[in-house]
Amino acid sequence: MNPSESGHEPVLLAEVLASLSPQRGQSFIDATAGRGGHASAIAAALNPGRVLLLDRDAANLQFALARVRAAAPESRVDAIHGDFRSISEIAQKQGISADLVLADLGVSSNQLDQAQRGFGFRHDGPLDMRLDQSAVYTAADLIRELCESDIADLIYNFGEDPFARLIARKVAQTRTHEPILTTAHLARLVREAYGSRARASRLHPATRTFMALRIAVNDELRALEEFLKSVAAAFRTTGAGWLSRSARVAVISFHSLEDRQVKRSFATLVDEGLVARVARKPQVASDSEVARNSRSRSAKLRSVSRIDR
């Protein structure tokens, strides 16, 4: 299936396959099934085996389920609509002892491209940004309810935008006389806050603000922290639990704050003698992949394999 049919091109696919090294009969959890790009390739390699797919986005999950079942017809493939912060509870409830776990963080291209999901500003849409559409808080709620300094901190901390204070001031001034409810409106305000500085910016000035809001709406950094804690606890348990005795875990991140969390968590496990790094350095996309898929530019893959005790 090509990216135009699936809505998303999996990043670092060859590197993920080499790092996880799927073998016939193994069990695999894809914590971020998305459009099933990575999962269908891994499932095909382990078929007949077992696959558990998770995603907070119910529509992506259903798409991935059909795709993975088609790729691995002799395997047991289940799908759970849930958050990977609860991976340990979900896996234990499903009775799976995973040999392979993948988390490919962030959003998929089809989510970004759907104007009504409110993740992007290229097409106008409601300021939503919820990965899980049954969740309560949208980006418009945050923009309406947070005080100016909290908006500035959020854009600075999660978006690393040096003009966060100017953007927050513009938002706070505007919302006193008109609600900010759409992606195009917010993008216009950010551009106005940048003023002539926008010309020097390689990215659209709203890029960082939108990423920061998305991270906040979905509590993405805390979800990752809890996921990594669950993985670490499973590696610290003697013998097989929801991670098998030879488990491999791979995480692809797109944000320096996420990569820092993954790096620290894996380094601690290496120091404790529980896992080995699959590659010495984080793996990044080749020039040809970046030329084909610009999303891969900031991707970093880190993977570890369990040392059996």
Residues lying near ligand SAM in the complex (CB under 6 A): 8, 10, 32, 34-38, 54-57, 60, 83-85, 104, 106-108, 131, 223
CB closer to ligand SAM out of 68 and 152? 68
Distance between CA 156 and CA 212 in Å, rounded? 8
Closest separation in Å from C-beta 297 to ligand SAM: 14
Closest separation in Å from C-beta 309 to ligand SAM: 29
CB closer to ligand SAM out of 55 and 161? 55
Q: 62 CB contacts (<8 Å, ≥6 apart)?
A: 79
Residue 8 is encoded by which pair of tokens? 């998303």
3 state SS for the chain: CCHHHHCCCCCCHHHHHHHHCCCCCCEEEECCCCCCHHHHHHHHHHCCCEEEEEECCHHHHHHHHHHHHHHCCCCEEEEEECCHHHHHHHHHHHCCCEEEEEEECCCCHHHHHCHHHCCCCCCCCECCCCCCCCCCCCHHHHHHHCCHHHHHHHHHHHHCCCCHHHHHHHHHHHHCCCCCCEHHHHHHHHHHHHHHHHHHCCCCCCHHHHHHHHHHHCCHHHHHHHHHHHHHHHHHCCCCCCEEEEEEEEEEECCHHHHHHHHHHHHHHHHCCCEEECCCCCECCCHHHHHHCHHHHHCEEEEEEECCC
Residue closest to ligand SAM when measured from CB atoms:
34
CB closer to ligand SAM out of 167 and 231? 231
CB closer to ligand SAM out of 113 and 148? 113
Closest separation in Å from C-beta 160 to ligand SAM: 20
CB closer to ligand SAM out of 83 and 170? 83
Closest separation in Å from C-beta 136 to ligand SAM: 16
Closest separation in Å from C-beta 60 to ligand SAM: 4
CB closer to ligand SAM out of 10 and 205? 10
Closest separation in Å from C-beta 158 to ligand SAM: 14
CB closer to ligand SAM out of 190 and 211? 211
Closest CA to 193 of 147, 151, 157: 151
Closest separation in Å from C-beta 137 to ligand SAM: 15
CB closer to ligand SAM out of 54 and 243? 54
Amino acid letter for position 191: R
Closest separation in Å from C-beta 266 to ligand SAM: 18
Length of the chain equals 309
